[in-house]
């Protein structure tokens, strides 16, 4: 028996994100290639759908898995919201369109520009543990000041010292989100100060 479609969850999840991404990309009036759907979902929720080491790049496997779970007839409670035209084309059904418009305010609040948190998985703990083991964080615990050595901060958040500002920002966002999911205020504060330090150096202050 098909599960009834539920209202959007009050917390972030990939199924709701994909349906809202389809709506946001115009998938109620035209067929979308799944790659366009994935890119829109990544745009709305990059922290959930990015590479582990390159948070500025969408992970195709994560996106494809999310779609597969959404369309799984045995597990999904979103069945009937998408129409399928071959392997690579999707469109909202009338039910999908009605679902999006009925809950537009809630979906916009969750996925309309604020930070979409990553899934609470072992990845979140791994990211936080990586920061905890870093020399930059050890220094911060003692002094409450972010390191003046940019390469130490880069090592802590797993990016390269000569990364572009957008990669730095995405890396900080990824760690900060993981710390928030794990309720680690100390790591969040470290990231806030480290971000300020790196931003000042990039500006040449």
* 39 inside domain: yes
Q: In whole angstroms, what is the distance from residue 205 CA to residue 203 CA?
A: 6
Q: In whole angstroms, what is the distance from residue 138 CA to residue 149 CA?
A: 13
Summarize pLDDT for 147-201 with one digit per residue, the tens. 778 999 999 998 888 888 988 988 898 888 888 777 788 999 999 999 999 988 8
* 3 inside domain: no
Query: What pTM value is reported for the model?
Result: 0.61
Element (H, E) at 170: helix 165-181
Domain final residue pick, 111, 145, 177: 111
Instruction: Find the domain containing 85 and state its range.
Output: 14-111
* 4 inside domain: no
* 2 inside domain: no
* 169 inside domain: yes
Q: For residue 82, report the phi and psi dihedrals to the nearest 5 degrees.
A: -110, 145
* 88 inside domain: yes
* 187 inside domain: yes
Q: Check whether residue 96 and residue 136 sit in a common domain.
A: no
Q: Check whether residue 139 and residue 94 sit in a common domain.
A: no
Confidence band (pLDDT; 50, 70, 90) for 145?
confident
Stronger pLDDT, 53 or 1, i.e. the higher one: 53
Q: Which residues of 34-49 are buried (b: 16+ CB within 10 A; e: fewer)?
A: bebbbbbbbebbbbbb
């Amino acid at each position: 028996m098909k599960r009834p479609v539920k209202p959007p969850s009050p917390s972030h999840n990939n199924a709701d994100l994909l349906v809202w991404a389809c709506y946001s990309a115009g998938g109620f009036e035209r067929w979308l290639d799944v790659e366009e759907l994935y890119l829109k979902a990544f745009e709305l929720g990059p922290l959930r759908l990015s590479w582990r080491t390159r948070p500025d790049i969408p992970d195709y496997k994560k996106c494809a898995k999310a779609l597969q779970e959404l369309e799984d007839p045995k597990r999904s409670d979103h069945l009937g919201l998408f129409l399928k035209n071959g392997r690579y084309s999707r469109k909202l059904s009338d039910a999908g369109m009605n679902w999006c418009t009925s809950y537009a305010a809630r979906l916009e609040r969750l996925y309309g520009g604020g930070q979409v948190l990553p899934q609470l998985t072992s990845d979140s703990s791994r990211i936080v543990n990586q920061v905890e083991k870093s020399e930059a964080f050890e220094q911060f615990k003692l002094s409450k000041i972010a390191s003046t050595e940019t390469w130490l901060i880069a090592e802590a958040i797993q990016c390269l010292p000569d990364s572009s500002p957008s990669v730095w920002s995405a890396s900080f966002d990824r760690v900060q989100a993981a710390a928030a999911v794990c309720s680690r205020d100390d790591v969040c504060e470290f990231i806030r100060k480290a971000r300020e330090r790196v931003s000042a150096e990039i500006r040449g202050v």
